[in-house]
Amino acid sequence: MHAFACEHLDGHWKSDNAMSLAYNSTLESLPKNKKEFIEQVFGYAEIIHKGNAYHFLPLPTIEITIEGKNYPFFFEEVKVEGVIHECSSEKVIAEYPNGIGTAVMNFEGPDVYWVSPDGDWREYFVRIK
């Protein structure tokens, strides 16, 4: 376990809807309601990584429709300090408190990474700053 920063992770990152959909649309096993959620929600989230700090930016409530029903969806602001377990140009593994848990960020170059909390679908993030 390391309490060091991972410099190539530092920056302002934004969820990329097009990249996420391009990958997730190939998953035949993904349930319809999860596909609908991904299509409508991915592309909004913004995260700032600095040293061991993780800052998930708040965003306004949006309305999403899942299986014909409308639901409000929002992003709460989260600021925490984490622990970096692994840092390489291919992968960063960090552990964050407050129910966030372990995040595995898989890099596809210096300005793109993806996460897969369920081990199936992916959410892509691109560096914007």
Mean pLDDT by 10 residues, the chain (129 residues): 71 97 92 92 94 90 94 91 90 85 93 90 96
- Angle at which helix 32-41 crosses helix 17-24, to 10 degrees, equals 160
H-helix or E-strand spanning residue 22? helix 17-24
Domains, the chain, ranges and CATH? 7-127 (2.40.128)
pLDDT of residue 2: 45
Question: How far lies 84's CA from each of 72, 78, 112, 117, in Å?
Answer: 33, 18, 18, 17
pLDDT of residue 1: 42
Alpha carbon 47 to its chain's center: 8
pLDDT of residue 3: 52
CA distance linking residue 69 with residue 109, whole number of Å: 38
pLDDT of residue 51: 87
Residue 56 burial class via C-beta count within 10 angstroms: exposed 0-12, middle 13-18, buried 19 and up: middle
Is the distance from CB of 99 to CB of 80 less than 8 angstroms? Answer: no
Residue 34 burial class via C-beta count within 10 angstroms: exposed 0-12, middle 13-18, buried 19 and up: middle
Beta strands at 11-15 and 46-50: parallel, antiparallel or unpaired = antiparallel
